[in-house]
Amino acid sequence: MNKKQFFLGIVLASLIGGIVALAGASFLAKQNTATNFSEKQDASLVNWLSDDKFTIPDGINFVAAAQQVTPAVVHVKSTVSVTQRQRGADPLEELFGFRSPNRGQMPQEARSSGSGVIISEDGYIVTNNHVIENASKVEISLENNTRYTARVIGTDPSTDLALLKIEEKNLPYVRFGDSDKTKVGEWVLAVGNPFDLTSTVTAGIISAKARNIGILRTAENNLSIESFLQTDAVVNPGNSGGALVNLAGELIGINTAIASRTGTFNGYAFAVPTSIVKKVMDDLLEFGAVQRGLLGVTIQDVSPELEESLKKPLGVSQGVYIAGVNEGSGGKEAGLKEGDIIIGVDGVTTNSVAKLQEMVARKRPGDKVEVKYLRDGKELLASATLRNLSGDTKIVKKEVPIVASFNGLTFEDIKPNIKDRLKIQGGATIITVENESWKKAGARVGFIITSVIGPDGRYRISGANDLIALLEESRGEEIVVLGLYPNGQEYYFEVEVE
């Protein structure tokens, strides 16, 4: 199928709790301070399945899995600020001789929705990055219609995953299963909120594994990881971030995309396997950022087309051809060379780029992998130490932004990834607006202030503290605030500083 036919769907995959029918399990009320989700789930066995409202049927079937998972699949609603044309003169042009490229635009709010899966009793939720990307506000609705505002703990565009947090305890959650043990032909359930239809369950089978469909190519640094589980369980817009579970009620994937000519389900859906999901969630929980271990090689699938382009036989029909090895990389240090063909990692056969990427994506910088490869027809082994983008083995922790307040307003330093993406030097992001004058002027949550024009001229804003200092000096004066939204849309407004 042509890659253009693949439509990035809003698909759901429910993180399913493992063997949850533990009849006598009691909830442990002590605080959970685990740094990974295996510990968090093991330390908080929620006895929600013993509720008298239903009983688990004999044997494993669709009903039992659906009853276990549905309460832990949530509706995720995102608010994104956009702009809309407004008639009238440009006050910047009239007052300061400055012409905005987006003259006379006023901020509006657009909403999108998807799904998410609760993975701990204290309110951690996994969803897709594209469900909450550029959102100024994220709302969570449980199956019982209880609603919360969520914090974004971290995101990973390269796998299209995000970790959210709501402040609640004793929540139903689903336990991670082992996607490696999933077999083609195995029955699975997809749980989510397609077309805003809450708590919808569909059934199908695993129709393929380790699929690469080329939908995440815009990820930063070309580090996208696509090794999807393919299923024919029906998923549609609104299902993104929901659960794909086995009949034991265990989470085996987060549904992310569909193959479609129309934008709705056409027979195939794709889920990020939990072998990747759990590692990404653990990284975001502990460090706030994904720790990406890299082998440092340029790779492509072995194929007849590759042999034809190389004008030589490769002697094998499947595997991962090394087209180049980066200097100073773990692969170079391990002795890998251009022309080698990787056929296994850590004892697992890697007959495609997707599978190799999946195996390496489970690791962190500093971890070692055993690489089985072919060179001139001979089978060899090498031990490679993975490194990060900087070429070392250091763990990268998320920078904690400076947060500052002023007269009903709260600002934080612009996040580094947003600053890099927008190609700006600095700025302060509005995170709360409780000042009525600023609200009426057009200030919105998520707006990034990059400069301020006052009576004495224009000042560039480097961060939150810089902005607060300027506002303190501008009390009683009218200023013009300039900046842009995370989607790159520029905007400005006038306000008197109280």
Q: Is 160 a catalytic residue?
A: yes
Q: Residue type at 349?
A: T
Candidate list 44, 75, 130, 340, residue with the active-site label: 130
Of 140, 44, 124, which is closest to residue 285 (Cα–Cα)? 124
Q: Is 78 a catalytic residue?
A: no
The rounded distance, in Å, linking the Cα atoms of 359 and 366 is 15
Candidate list 122, 156, 160, 413, residue with the active-site label: 160
Candidate list 120, 199, 240, 451, residue with the active-site label: 240
- Could you give the count of Cα atoms lying within 13 Å of 432 in the half-sphere of its Cβ? 10
Q: Is 90 a catalytic residue?
A: no
Of 379, 335, 372, which is closest to residue 356 (Cα–Cα)? 372
Structure tokens at 431: 């995170």
Structure tokens at 49: 């399945």
Q: Give catalytic residue positions.
A: 130, 160, 240
